[in-house]
A and B are shown apart, each in its own frame.
Chain A
Amino acid sequence: MGTIIKLFKSRFFIIALCTALLLSIIPTVLCIMGQGDYVRSAIQTAATPFQWCFTKIGEGLGGYSVYFRSLSDLREENEKLREELRNSQDKVYDAELILEQNEYLRSYLGVKAEHSDFSFEEATVIGRESTNYRTVYTLSRGTMHGVEVNMPVITEDGLVGYVTETGATWCRAVSLVETASAVGAYVERSGVLGVVEGTYELRFDGLCRMIYIEPDSDIREGDRILTSGVGSIYPRGLCVGTVSRVDADPATRTLAATIVPDVDFSDISKVMIITDYKVFTE
């Protein structure tokens, strides 16, 4: 213990302590007096380039760490934006559905206004033929809704076909491009009569044919074809399609016209089943 006390009484310690006190007191007094501390200033000047270097390194590290710190913020923000995007997409989807429904209802109203004598049952296409025959549809209305076999099926664009089979809550409709289908029709411009039927060759192109047209009939490309009301299925005046080509049929010595249906059979989602109409034929 005596040795330790002796060390604190040593000349070195006393000189060092005095130096430290002087280095503490003199700059402090100078600072209080408002005088510049030259030692301090010199040290600061010498250290400035080194401090600059380490400051830059520190800032670099800080910037790098901010990237990682902000990563969690970005993740959170990203999640929020994703959620907002999902909500917006849902809204857009809903709006699109409403728009589609609105357009359909407008068309429906148009058709209803045009054919005020018709009774309609609105239906949705819930299925299609399981084979590659794309022109037979399963619809969402059946006998419960008053749907019966041989009822015409239309869209706002024109004639689709007719009901061939019914269930309680569903029915199946065959399109006019099917081979089993035949529709009494006439040319709107000239009144020329004929029969529109599906053919195997044209069916896959979504086309059909008008046959039994008198050889000297006035029919040409671009003519609109409407149902004539002949037969027991279709009422008069439904749009069938447009003539795209007229050929002579050597077998029957009549003319045959290729018809482009007004309805795009590959893109039908909603239809109207005509459950009742007033019979009127030419």
Chain B
Amino acid sequence: MGRIILFFILIFGSAVIQTSFFRAAGIFPASPDLLLAAVIGIAIYDGERSAAAAGVAAGVFAEALGGDGVMLLPVFYLLIGYVFGIVSRFFLKKNFLSWLVYMLIAANVRLGYSFSYLMITEPDLNLFLAFKNILIPEFIMTVLFSIPIYFFSRICARPFHKQIDMD
């Protein structure tokens, strides 16, 4: 139960910060996808099932707090969480570098998702401007600001896993 509450706080907090703080500050070129980092963090340290559930919740929160009514993110985050949870179980170790590799891959997937979304919703999309003003800043911001989220997710998972790799 404690784990669910902690993960809920992590996901909810990330969604709130992502949809309020970064937009209000006005100094960042784009708002990062903190939920992606949180879901991957949970996937690494708590497994694919928790990550899948957290992914669905993340998608719902993201759409509820900052979406425009058409909800696709629950499926997107579910798949991210579940896939990276399985990958981390069988392949790389549970440490920061592994998380960073997953994060870069996930950020690229996210870039692809955003690009597809833009292609569908914006018929006259200028690709150069889309990459310059939206996609690349979002990618960089997501990777940068996901680092503190990684540590939060690790802290949240730690009490429930005695054997977390500290490498």
Contact = CB atoms under 8 A, between A and B. Distances in A.
A12 B49 CA distance: 8
Interface residues of B, number: 38
A58 B22 contact: yes
B75 A27 contact: no
B65 A13 contact: no
Contacts of B164: none
A228 B162 CA distance: 119
The secondary-structure label for the interface of chain B is: helix
Contact of B24 (A3, A23, A62, A69): A62
Interface string B9-27: 0001101110111111111
A20 B78 contact: yes
Interface string B68-82: 011111110010001
Nearest to A49: B16
B46 to A, nearest CB: 14
A281 interface: no
A24 B25 contact: no
B74 to A, nearest CB: 4
Interface stretch (A39-47, A157-165, A271-279): A39-47
A54 B25 CA distance: 9
A7 B48 contact: yes
A40 B63 contact: yes
Given A13-B82, A17-B78, A23-B59, A39 B64 contact: yes
Query: On chain A, which size bracket covers the interface?
Result: 35 or more
Contacts of A16: 49, 52-53, 56, 78, 82
Given A28-B69, A28-B70, A7 B21 contact: no
Contacts of A40: 60, 63-64, 67
Contact of A24 (B21, B22, B64, B74): B74
Given A28-B70, A51-B20, A58 B59 contact: no
A47 B23 contact: no
Residue among A3, A54, A55 with the most chain B CB within 10 A? A54
Contacts of B59: 20, 23-24
The secondary-structure label for the interface of chain A is: helix
Contacts of B75: 17, 20-21, 24
B65 A47 contact: yes
A62 B25 CA distance: 4
B21 A47 contact: no
Contacts of A52: 20
25 contacts: A4-B90, A7-B48, A12-B52, A16-B56, A19-B74, A20-B75, A21-B75, A23-B56, A23-B60, A23-B74, A27-B71, A39-B64, A40-B67, A43-B60, A47-B12, A47-B64, A50-B12, A50-B20, A55-B23, A56-B24, A58-B21, A58-B23, A58-B24, A59-B24, A59-B26
Given A28-B71, A51-B16, 9 more contacts: A4-B86, A12-B49, A20-B75, A23-B74, A54-B21, A54-B24, A55-B21, A58-B24, A61-B25
Interface of A: 3-4, 7-8, 12-13, 16-17, 19-21, 23-25, 27-28, 31-32, 37, 39-40, 43-44, 47, 50-59, 61-62, 65-66, 69
